[in-house]
Amino acid sequence: MNVVYRIPPDRPCERLYTCYLCKKSVDGFAHIHAHGMNTCMKAHGLHHVTGITADPQKNIDFYTGVLGLRMVKLTVNFDDPRAYHLYYGNSSGEPGTAMTFFSWPNVRTGVTGVGEIASVAFSIPAGSVEFWERHLEGKGVSYSRGTRFGEAFILLRDPDGLELELVAETPLASVEPWTTPVFSSDNAIRAFHGIGIAEDIGARTRAFISERFGYSGGESDAGTYRYRANESGPGRCIYVRIAPDELRGVMGSGTIHHAAFRADDDADELKIRGELLAAGMEATQVIDRTYFHSVYFREPGGVLFEIATDAPGFTVDEPLASLGTRLCLPPQFEMHREEIVRALPPLKLPA
């Protein structure tokens, strides 16, 4: 099956799939049972999450200066080299910590709605909530505080309006945070906590996550369902919020383009891809993204998911000590470096 992966910001979410087995346009998940299948794959929590920004400099200043993440890679969108692709994370940007952004300065403002990832949650130490409140106040960032499933969280938005959460998570994933003179291991962001998906009905998405994607749970709190990967690593939560009165989302700045989930290695990724195809869903061929290998597909509610390998990682083209300090280009674009640099806006990188 040949699938071309090109999904620009204005492409609508898809709800139907062409079944790999019978070649019909169908509701992908519901159609599994027509073939008597019971395919269950196992994803290992979040690998990275990719959003869209209209202002790369404000984005850098916020995620490094306000949230205290390390900039681990400055590169370009491999499908659109006229746009930056910005990566943030812990010291090495290890899987489960990498927040990334495509930068399209002229992109329209997005509208969060159903059929989208509506929020991204980071984990923080349980005793650090008051530190974060003081820190955000000092930076002039508005926030509110809430509780969900017994866990306290801080709700805020980035400069593009993307909804973020800082969740006081216990226990924390065993990931070393990026520390600075401002952020210590007692308060720094550890990694992802999870993502929040908004759906009008959500039954198909919830069934896919729990019955096919290897997540467990499904308990609810005020119209939100929680699912967790059966592992103790970072980014193990998926929340599905039922919002029957909301309109479908419109992709643009301040929205999430896709969420990537971990595969141990190439063999594990191919296994997951095979299980997606066996379930009657469409999935791309494996695509080399230099820092990981990727397979893309849409879950039954229309949200774009990716399976990404842990390796090679961000030190494949620059040393650990200097990650994120220069523009890195994949080999296919290196010969066009001067032309690409001229098309990109200048940036002031973190010291």
Confidence of residue 44 (pLDDT cuts 50, 70, 90): confident
Q: Which of 77, 70, 69 is nearest to 53 (CA)?
A: 77
Q: Which pLDDT does position 25 carry in this prediction?
A: 53
Question: Residue type for 153, please?
Answer: F
Evaluate whether 236 touches 95 at the Cβ level (below 8 Å): no
* Distance between CA atoms of residues 65 and 257, nearest Å: 23
Evaluate whether 157 touches 256 at the Cβ level (below 8 Å): no
The residue behind tokens 């692709």 is 85
Residue 94: phi, psi to the nearest 5?
Answer: -65, 155
Pick the more confident residue, 4 or 194.
Answer: 194
Q: Tens of pLDDT along 79-117?
A: 999 999 999 999 999 999 999 999 999 999 999 999 999
Q: Give the angle subtended at the CA of 238 by the CAs of 233 and 241, to the nearest 5°.
A: 160
Q: At a CB cut-off of 8 Å and minimum separation 6, what does 21 contact? A: 35, 280
Q: Which pLDDT does position 223 carry in this prediction?
A: 92
Q: Which pLDDT does position 318 carry in this prediction?
A: 97
Pick the more confident residue, 41 or 200.
Answer: 200
What number is the average pLDDT over the span 149-155? 96
Say if residue 20's pLDDT is above 60. no
Confidence of residue 230 (pLDDT cuts 50, 70, 90): confident
Say if residue 34's pLDDT is above 60. no
Q: At a CB cut-off of 8 Å and minimum separation 6, what does 19 contact? A: 25, 26, 28, 31, 280
Say if residue 195's pLDDT is above 50. yes
Q: Which pLDDT does position 22 carry in this prediction?
A: 53
What number is the average pLDDT over the span 213-218? 92
For residue 248, how many other CB atoms are within 10 A of its CB? 14
Structural domains present in the chain? 19-343 (3.10.180.10)
* Distance between CA atoms of residues 308 and 137, nearest Å: 36
Q: Which pLDDT does position 39 carry in this prediction?
A: 55
What number is the average pLDDT over the span 50-61? 98
Say if residue 18's pLDDT is above 90. no
For CA atoms 46, 48, 51, 53, give the dihedral sign.
Answer: positive
Say if residue 2's pLDDT is above 70. no
HEC assignment per residue over 70-135: EEEEEEEECCEEEEEEEEEECCCCCCCCEEEEEECCCCCECECCECEEEEEEEEECHHHHHHHHHH
Confidence of residue 231 (pLDDT cuts 50, 70, 90): confident
* Distance between CA atoms of residues 255 and 115, nearest Å: 12
The average confidence (pLDDT) of the chain is: 89
Cα distance between the two ends of the chain: 46
Say if residue 19's pLDDT is above 50. no
Residue 211: phi, psi to the nearest 5?
Answer: -100, -20
